[in-house]
Every structure is written in C-alpha cells, then in structure tokens.
Amino acid sequence: MKKQQKRPTGFTLMELIGVMAIIAILASVMAPGLTDAIDKAYGEEEVGSLEVFGSALERHILNTGEIPSMDTSDWAPAIASLTDVPVDKVEFNSRGYKRQLYIDPRFFTASDTKFTGYTQDAGLAGAPNSPRMMLISSLDGNLPKAPKTGASFAAIWDQTDEAGVVAGKKTKIERLNLGSRFHLLVLTNSSDQQGAYALGNGSQNPVPAAVGGVDGTIERYVIESTRLKLHASPFPSGDLETTVLLRNSLSAHYVTDGSRWFWERS
C-alpha cells in the first residue's frame, strides 16, 4: 500500500496573513478605547496630585506668612517641603510637562501688576483685591506663560470663551482663593506714647499714640494663623505683653486701669 503523506505542521502563509488581519482589526477597534482609558487614568492621577499640592501651598502660606511668586524655583520647593514629593516631581507632571502657578495680576489692587511674591511684615493696609491663584497642569504639552491681566486670569478661572487655557481630559486646574484667609486686625491706643505689634517673627511696628484725646488707631489685614505679638509702650523698647494666634478678625485696645497700661481684646 502506498503510505499517506503527513500534512506539515504549523500555519500556512495564508493562515498567518488571516491571523494578522484579525489582530489588526481588533487592534484598530480596541486602541481608541485603550488610549482613552490611559488618558483618563493619567487625568485622575493629576487631579489628585494638584489637590495635594494646592493644600500644601495653602498650608505653607498659613505657616510662614509668605506667598511664593510664580517662579517655579519659588513655589515648587514650598510645596515639596510639606509633602513627600521631590521638587522635580512637583515641577513636572507624569507626562514630563511643567506645571504652572498662575496668580491674579490684581491680587492686591484693581490694577494689573505682576505678582512677585509677598512676605508679611506689617500686614496689608487694605484688603487684597483678588487673592486668587491656580495650579495648572497639561498632559498634552507645556502651558503658556501666566496671564498678564486680571481679565485674562479671570477668563481661565471662570472658563469663559476667552480662556487662554481650557480645562478638560488632559488639562487640570486647582483653584485657591485666599480671600477668607486674610483677617482684619484693628489696634487702638489710648496712651500718649506709641504701642507696638509684631507679626510672626517679624520686627515691631508702631501703633499710633493718642493725640488731643483722640485714640490712635491702625488697621491691617493679616494672614490667618499668624502669631500676633502686642508690646507695651513706648515703642520700640516696650515689653512683650501678650501673644495671640489670629484665627479670625481681631480688635485690641491699649488702655489703663489708672495704675497700669495693658492690651485688652475687644
């Protein structure tokens, strides 16, 4: 009998081509969904990172009485100091693009002025006009430079049609409004000698003396959690009398009971 020939094992060229075609079709169907899932995961991770960084930045401001400038070398180390994240990981997102800190050019006044940082010494003579800032990150490229006008900043904050940066799947924004973190401090002096106050570890600042029977008064806006030190007269040699941690607006009056002068909260 004639022996039957065995068919060669393995795939034929046509079978391989068919398998590759099926794989290509499946890949074309699955790729967009897979890409979207990856982008979504990166986006959710970035939202969490910006929330952590925003909280750390606010804590830095409350702890130190200092607001960093928009220079990365200023704000990134401030955030890193209160997190477990290295400075370079604060500066760059997981896709390797730089994060940005935008600060309202109308932070202090209604005029557009580049924000260059703030170190609290004597406090602000008036309430800040628009103390807002945004931590922004794009997973699709580097961001444009910070807006130079309050209107441009507000457009991004409010996401109007004029916004230069639009939030979405690949662009995330963390907003910080420090308006509620500034409290009014009112100090009144009935003595004919200047009293004094100091904020945090700063130097003493005079409280005007009474003149012609009219109390001297000073008003300042101070960052929450600042340690307020009240000194007896005369400025600047008066002894430290009391220390208060500012949590809300506060008024204090330098008065006498007829035998001594002292600070009294009102």
Q: Cβ atoms within 10 A of the Cβ of 186, count? A: 14
Return d(Cα 3, Cα 245) in angstroms, integer: 101
Q: What is the pLDDT of residue 37?
A: 74
Given a cut of 70, whether residue 260 has pLDDT beyond it is: yes
Tell me the whole-structure pTM to 2 decimals.
0.86
First to last CA, the chain: 119
Task: For 147-196, write each residue's pLDDT tens digit.
Answer: 999 999 999 999 999 999 999 999 999 999 999 999 999 999 999 999 99
Return d(Cα 145, Cα 129) in angstroms, integer: 22
Return d(Cα 231, Cα 243) in angstroms, integer: 9
Task: For 74-88, write each residue's pLDDT tens digit.
Answer: 999 999 999 999 999
Given a cut of 70, whether residue 18 has pLDDT beyond it is: no
Q: How confident is the model at residue 135 (pLDDT cuts 50, 70, 90)?
A: very high
Proportion of the chain above pLDDT 90, given as a percent: 83
Distances in Å between the Cα of 104 and the Cα atoms of 34, 70, 169, 231, 263 are: 38, 10, 24, 35, 37
Q: Cβ atoms within 10 A of the Cβ of 52, count? A: 17
**79-100 as b/e: b if 16+ CB within 10 A:** bbebbebeeeebbbbeeebebb
Tokens 């010494």 sit on residue: 121
Return d(Cα 199, Cα 66) in angstroms, integer: 12
Proportion of the chain above pLDDT 70, given as a percent: 87
Distances in Å between the Cα of 39 and the Cα atoms of 114, 120, 188 are: 34, 41, 58
Spatial CA neighbour of 225 closest among 200, 201, 202, 245: 245
Q: Of residues 26 and 45, which shows the higher confidence score?
A: 45
Q: What is the pLDDT of residue 7?
A: 57
